[in-house]
């Protein structure tokens, strides 16, 4: 009897909502775990070309931690495409003013560069405090 490879279909895999408390977690370590959950690599039904990942809610992202001298030496760079449109912000400034973008960017850079990854990133919901508007989805707490 020949063995058949299991290929998951998007509508066959149950989607779950998980909630992660990011307070006092290291940015790089939490973003690798979040990228893995978004892609579905933590499930036995993982299929590389199908979206089988879960929805992830991250709270308390303003209390995330950076190790070493990264807050002062690393920079967040943006460019609008216009002359003089390049701006640089230190990670400490970003952590104080826009910590959501810091985590979203770290997770995005740990995922593949394709259409599927862009679709999977829409399942990442990042919030500063404890409050989030996804109580109706009944998210399950996940300890990283």
User: Would you write out the chain's pLDDT as a tens digit for each of its 144 residues?
Assistant: 678 888 898 888 899 999 999 999 999 999 999 999 999 999 999 999 999 999 999 999 999 999 999 999 999 999 999 999 999 999 999 999 999 999 999 999 999 999 999 999 999 999 999 999 999 999 999 998
- The pTM for the full model equals 0.92
In the chain, how long is the greatest CA-to-CA distance?
A: 66
In the chain, what is the straight-line distance between the N-terminal and C-terminal CA atoms, in Å?
A: 41
Residue 132, token pair as written in the block: 């989030």
Task: Print the domain residue range for 21.
Answer: 17-68+101-141
Here the CATH number for the domain that contains residue 28 is 3.90.1180.10
**42 within some domain:** yes
**21 within some domain:** yes
**29 within some domain:** yes
Residue 49, token pair as written in the block: 């070309």
**90 within some domain:** no
Three-state secondary-structure class, residue 89: strand
**86 within some domain:** no
**9 within some domain:** no
Measured from the Cβ of residue 21, the count of other Cβ atoms closer than 10 Å reads 18
Q: Which helix (H) or strand (E) holds 55?
A: strand 55-59
**122 within some domain:** yes
**44 within some domain:** yes
Residues 6+ apart with CB under 8 A from 125: 55, 56, 57, 58, 132, 134
Reported as half-sphere exposure (CB side, CA atoms, 13 A), residue 54 has a value of 24
Q: How many domains does the chain have?
A: 1
């Amino acid at each position: 009897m020949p063995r058949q490879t299991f290929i998951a279909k998007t509508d066959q895999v149950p989607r779950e909502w998980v909630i992660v408390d990011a307070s006092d977690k290291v940015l790089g370590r939490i973003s690798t775990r979040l990228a893995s959950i978004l892609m579905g690599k933590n499930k036995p039904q993982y299929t590389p070309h199908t979206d089988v990942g879960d929805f992830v809610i991250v709270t308390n992202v303003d209390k995330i931690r950076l190790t070493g001298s990264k807050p002062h030496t690393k920079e967040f760079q943006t460019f609008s495409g216009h002359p003089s449109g390049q701006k640089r912000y230190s990670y400490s400034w970003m952590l104080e003013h826009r910590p959501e973008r810091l985590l979203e960017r770290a997770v995005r850079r740990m995922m593949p560069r394709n259409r599927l990854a862009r679709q999977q990133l829409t399942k990442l919901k990042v919030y500063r405090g404890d409050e989030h508007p996804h109580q109706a989805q009944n998210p399950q707490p996940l300890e990283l």
